[in-house]
């Protein structure tokens, strides 16, 4: 994993942990942890998608807005890195 990927994971983790803190969820999450099981609601997932777009200056195509792409920090990271490479 390159430096850019580690940085992306750290940024995503920061966003997710801040959202979970508002829900009194766990203080930290692992990269593979299911975010719904960690306490994020469907509305949180929409807000997460918007926060990711804003953080990385990207627009997530509708076809990529799937539960699988937002299941975990690792899944979000893979999607963001894939979109960055396609840009």
Could you read off the pLDDT of 41-76 as tens digits, one per residue?
Answer: 999 999 999 999 999 999 999 999 999 999 999 999
Tell me: pLDDT of 31 over 80.
yes
pTM of the model: 0.88
- The domains located in the chain, with CATH, are 3-86 (1.10.1200.10)
Tell me: pLDDT of 79 over 80.
yes
Q: How do the residues of the chain divide into helix, strand and coil, expressed in percent and rounded to 5? A: 70, 0, 30
Tell me: pLDDT of 24 over 80.
no
Tell me: pLDDT of 4 over 70.
no
For residues 37 and 53, what is the distance between their CA atoms, to the nearest angstrom? 23
- Cβ atoms within 10 Å of 20's Cβ, excluding its own: 19
What does the angle CA 43 – CA 55 – CA 22 come to, to the nearest 5 degrees? 40
Task: Please report which confidence band the pLDDT of residue 1 belongs to, taking 50, 70 and 90 as the band edges.
Answer: very low
């Amino acid at each position: 994993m390159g430096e850019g990927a580690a940085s992306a994971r750290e940024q995503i983790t920061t966003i997710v942990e801040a959202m979970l803190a508002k829900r009194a969820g766990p203080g930290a999450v692992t990269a593979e942890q299911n975010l719904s099981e960690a306490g994020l609601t469907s509305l949180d997932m929409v807000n997460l998608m918007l926060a990711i777009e804003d953080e990385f200056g990207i627009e997530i195509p509708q076809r990529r807005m799937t539960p699988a792409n937002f299941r975990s920090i690792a899944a979000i990271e893979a999607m963001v890195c894939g979109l960055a490479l396609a840009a």
